[in-house]
């Protein structure tokens, strides 16, 4: 990956967006983008000078689209739109998500169809580069005329209003500017509208969903394989020939990963002629279930990367005599795949919980509740209560927000996407999923130790050791919440999957060979 990303001319991807947000990649405006930006802004100035009526340049907004605005009031109009639309409520969104909103808005506006000033984009880039990230409330967008409320809060600091996260604290923008010795900027015609029209709130949550769901899917394969080993299941259902007969790419990838993860296992070899005919579905059907969620993830990734390079404000400025007022700000193209991904994440939790339950039953040579002295001890019974609770909570979050629509703007905006809710819900499901997977991982590690002295494959033994570096084998009851939080931290910060992947590379093992589309 190059050290510099050129806004407006390079293609933005999920990985590049996250790299810019993390400071690993620097976003800049090159001469080509600057020329496009300046040309588009000149077109807006010509529209105003000629007194041509163009929505949002010299008219009101929404239901007030037919209300003319005088030339002397066009700048005031842009200031007021940020004020009037800053109606968000609830807790602030995560700082990283707000930063991704800034990054994706710069990418959209830098393509030269929005009429904004170069200085405005340079100020937004200053916020990104200096980690002065606006405070954005989580609720208030219906995801249709763009994410109006959250984007308004995002850009209040441009005009000296609102709050920012600054040096780890929430600080009034005016105080930040005093410390940084800078002033607010004056928005030109159309700029306020260009800033708050767009799908960047939905898109930022989609970027995080792509990253986080991918990590959970990778972890689920590893953890599921460990549970299979602990339960002395068979790898026969992962045979490549079977999956060629139902050739879904996600299914084939998961089957391949399971074959590789289980290769060389002493435990697997020990029961090859045990006479057990079939495993329960949560073991046998991992390629079909995990694979279906992989397919949903791929759909979300592909559409997210289209949106990352889209122009989604309104109107579009093609020339001083050529403007189009349309609906590129409507969130429906992202709302539907986010709802799909929400269900995909919940299903990974459903099947993981079933494996947790299987591990507790005391079958196939494991002690009931994964502890020898139960009665006095409850063993791993109660952690599964938590997975059951989280799975049920996820089910309640699976109603598709995009199936609803409520008219706004006195009926002018009579169909809305609710994609902002889709994005937030998908990430809430992933919050819960990370804990569900952590509990299965704890349970599988506990169970595998009852198979000693036999060993699993080198990859799964390494995964087991990663957990044991943080959490010891449980001889008796203890506060399992501490264990859960430690292991969940390894999943949430991506370190568990990353460490297994790096170990596989050292062992010259390819987990995802031939399935490059499933990376980002």
Average pLDDT, the chain: 95
- Give 447's pLDDT tier (boundaries 50, 70, 90): very high
Burial class of residue 512 (count of CB atoms within 10 Å of its CB; 0-12, 13-18, 19+)? middle
List the alpha helices (DSSP H) in 308-377: 332-360
Apex CA 125: angle with CA 97 and CA 333, to 5°? 45
Q: Which CATH architecture has domain 205-405+416-518?
A: Up-down Bundle (1.20)
Active-site residue list:
55
CB 210 within 8 A of CB 18: no
Residues 240-269 have a mean pLDDT of 98
d(CA 518, CA 515): 6
Q: Which CATH architecture has domain 4-198?
A: Orthogonal Bundle (1.10)
Q: Which residues of 144-159 are buried (b: 16+ CB within 10 A; e: fewer)?
A: bbbbbbbbbbbbbbbb
Distance of CA 274 to the CA centre of its chain: 43
Nearest residue to 113 via CA among 318, 310, 307, 314: 318
Q: How far apart are the first and last CA of the chain?
A: 12
Task: Provide the percentage of residues in the chain whose pLDDT is more than 70.
Answer: 98
Residues 168-194 have a mean pLDDT of 95
User: For the chain, what is the largest distance between any 2 Cα atoms, rounded to a whole number of angstroms?
Assistant: 86
Spell out the residues 6+ positions from residue 279 whose beta carbon is closer than 8 angstroms to its own. 228, 231, 233, 234, 237
d(CA 441, CA 222): 9
Taking residue 97's Cβ as centre, other Cβ atoms within 10 Å add up to 22
Q: Would you call 377 helix, strand, or coil by DSSP?
A: strand
Nearest residue to 203 via CA among 58, 300, 59, 297: 300
Stated length of the chain: 520
- Give 2's pLDDT tier (boundaries 50, 70, 90): low
d(CA 115, CA 316): 8
- Give 303's pLDDT tier (boundaries 50, 70, 90): very high
- Domain ranges, ordered by start, for the chain: 4-198, 205-405+416-518
Spell out the residues 6+ positions from residue 179 whose beta carbon is closer than 8 angstroms to its own. 166
pTM given for the model: 0.97
Residues 81-105 have a mean pLDDT of 97
CB 16 within 8 A of CB 107: no
Residues 240-263 have a mean pLDDT of 98
Q: Which residues of 203-239 are buried (b: 16+ CB within 10 A; e: fewer)?
A: bbbbbbbbbbbbbbbbbbbbbbbbbbbbbbbbbebbe
- Would you state the pLDDT for residue 411? 85
Per-residue three-class SS string for 446-457: HHHHHHCCCCCC
Tell me how far CA of residue 119 lies from CA of 70, 154, 158, 297, in angstroms: 24, 17, 11, 37
d(CA 415, CA 294): 31
Going along 281-346, which residue ranges are E strands?
316-319, 322-324
Q: Are strands 89-92 and 163-166 parallel, antiparallel or unpaired?
A: unpaired
Write out pLDDT tens, residues 130-153. Answer: 999 999 999 999 999 889 999 999
């Amino acid at each position: 990956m190059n050290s510099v990303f050129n806004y407006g001319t390079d293609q933005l991807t999920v990985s590049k967006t996250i790299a810019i947000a993390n400071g690993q990649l620097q976003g800049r405006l090159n001469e080509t983008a600057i020329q496009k930006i300046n040309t588009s802004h000149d077109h807006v100035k010509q529209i105003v000078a000629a007194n041509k009526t163009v929505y949002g340049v010299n008219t009101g907004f929404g239901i007030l689209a037919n209300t003319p605005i005088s030339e002397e009031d066009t700048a005031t109009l842009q200031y007021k739109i940020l004020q009037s639309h800053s109606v968000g409520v609830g807790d602030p969104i995560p700082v990283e998500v707000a930063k991704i909103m800034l990054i994706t808005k710069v990418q959209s506006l830098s393509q030269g169809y929005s009429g904004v000033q170069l200085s405005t984009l340079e100020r937004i880039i200053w916020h990104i580069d200096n980690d002065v990230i606006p405070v954005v409330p989580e609720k208030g967008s219906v995801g249709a005329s763009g994410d109006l409320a959250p984007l308004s809060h995002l850009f209040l600091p441009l005009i000296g209003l609102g709050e920012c996260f600054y040096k780890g604290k929430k600080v009034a923008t005016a105080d930040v500017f005093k410390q940084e010795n800078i002033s607010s900027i004056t928005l030109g015609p159309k700029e306020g509208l260009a800033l708050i029209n767009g799908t960047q709130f939905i898109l930022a949550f989609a970027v995080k969903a792509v990253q986080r769901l991918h990590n959970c899917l990778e972890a689920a394969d590893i953890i599921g394989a460990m549970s299979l080993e602990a339960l002395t299941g068979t790898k026969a259902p992962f045979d490549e020939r079977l999956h060629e007969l139902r050739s879904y790419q996600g299914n084939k990838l998961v089957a391949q990963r399971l074959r590789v993860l289980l290769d060389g296992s002493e435990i697997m070899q020990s029961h090859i002629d045990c006479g057990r005919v079939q495993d329960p579905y949560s073991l046998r059907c991992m390629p079909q279930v995990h694979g279906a969620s992989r397919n949903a993830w791929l759909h979300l990734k592909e559409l997210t990367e289209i949106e990352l390079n889209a122009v989604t404000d309104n109107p579009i400025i093609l020339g001083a005599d050529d403007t189009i007022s349309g609906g590129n700000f409507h969130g429906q193209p992202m709302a539907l795949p986010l709802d799909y991904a929400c269900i995909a994440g919940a299903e990974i939790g459903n099947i993981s919980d079933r494996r947790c339950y299987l591990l507790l039953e005391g079958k196939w040579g494991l002690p009931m509740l994964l502890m020898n002295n139960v009665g006095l001890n409850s063993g791993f019974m109660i952690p599964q209560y938590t997975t059951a609770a989280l799975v049920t909570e996820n089910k309640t979050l699976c109603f598709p927000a995009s199936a609803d629509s409520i008219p706004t703007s006195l009926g002018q905006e009579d169909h809305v996407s609710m994609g902002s809710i889709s994005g937030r819900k998908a990430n809430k499901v992933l919050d819960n999923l990370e804990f569900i997977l952590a509990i299965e991982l704890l349970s599988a590690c506990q169970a595998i130790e009852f198979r000693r002295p036999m060993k699993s494959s080198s990859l799964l033994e390494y995964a087991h050791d990663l957990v044991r570096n943080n959490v010891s084998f449980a001889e008796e009851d203890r506060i399992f919440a501490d264990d859960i939080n430690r292991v969940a931290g390894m999943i949430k910060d991506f370190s568990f999957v990353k460490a297994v992947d790096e170990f596989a590379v050292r062992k010259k093992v390819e987990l995802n060979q031939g399935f490059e589309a499933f990376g980002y």
